[in-house]
Amino acid sequence: MTRDHITDTYKKIQDEITQALERLDGKAKFQEEIWEREGGGGGRTRIIQGGNLLEKGGVNFSAVHGTLPAPIKKAFGVDEDQFFATGVSIVLHPNHPLVPIIHMNIRYFELNEQLRWFGGGIDLTPHYVYPQDATYFHQALKDTCDKYHPNFYGEFKAWADRYFYIKHRDETRGIGGIFYDRLTPEKTGLSYEEIFDFSCDLGRTFAPVYIELANRHRDELFTQAQKDWQLIRRGRYVEFNLVYDAGTKFGLETNGRIESILMSLPSQANWAYDYKAIPGSAEEKTLSLLKQGIDWV
């Protein structure tokens, strides 16, 4: 399992996902920009905008290397200077308020043969939480996890609940999913090859799961009030990504490409002063489900 093999496989997964999403949207096509990073490496940024369903989205691949900045060395607790990192990162913002936002990341990070690991995850951010959709989503992730380790889903689901938490709002970003980092043979009992297979399997779970969820609701009628709520929820998404997201911070600290790093932000979001959901409303119900520790399966 070489760097080149990991890189080539992640690029293939990027291709598979962009093709599937273009078929889902039926109108818009991804625009690709090849870029190089000053300091080493580069990537393929693919952005879709103005589609039948996808208002804005990105399916990005990168493989970068170079000198690890001091703040990142301190955060990782390492003394190594040179790093290599590759992965696929996805965020989709639909134009329909009943279709959820989704995020995925699969990545590999290496300092040397002894210091290397995999990370990633998938999480769902519905503007309106449908319990049956949440169960479907989490069951799909559990099925993927269970093929590799009986503890993966429970541990990674709890990790996602903790990670995708907006502390200053006392709410989760969405209904969670799974999140993991620094997976190694020592921590999992699996080989690096098996952890890589898990990473790829998770990446290939993304498209069919999101397509199913999108098609459940994309033809439903919606009101202006629901659209307004969607924009408020997008604002919460922005708050998390700019204040807490580790990937955003890593990209900025390592002199990453700004447009690719911030592609996760929606084209439009709103902030309403001291917003209060109407008692008994669907909005209030959704807020009640944006909590850590909900067992969806």
Write out the catalytic residue numbers. 103
Residues 251, 264: contact at Cβ < 8 Å? no
**Strand 82-94 to 41-49 pairing:** unpaired
124 beta partners: 102, 176
Residue tagged 């919460």 (tokens): 236
CA–CA separation, 260 vs 33, rounded Å? 10
Q: What are phi and psi of 266, to 5 degrees?
A: -70, 165
CA–CA separation, 223 vs 167, rounded Å? 30
Residues 229, 97: contact at Cβ < 8 Å? yes
DSSP string, 225-260: HHHHHHHHHHHHHHHHHHHT-HHHHHHHHTT--HHH
Q: Which residue type, as a one-letter code, is found at position 244? A: Y
In order of 147, 184, 263, the CA distances from 155 in angstroms are: 15, 15, 29
- Pair of tokens at residue 205: 């779970």
Let me know the angle formed at the C-alpha of 198 by 192 and 201, rounded to the nearest 5 degrees: 140
CA–CA separation, 240 vs 167, rounded Å? 9
CA 150, 210, 244, 170 torsion: positive or negative?
Answer: negative
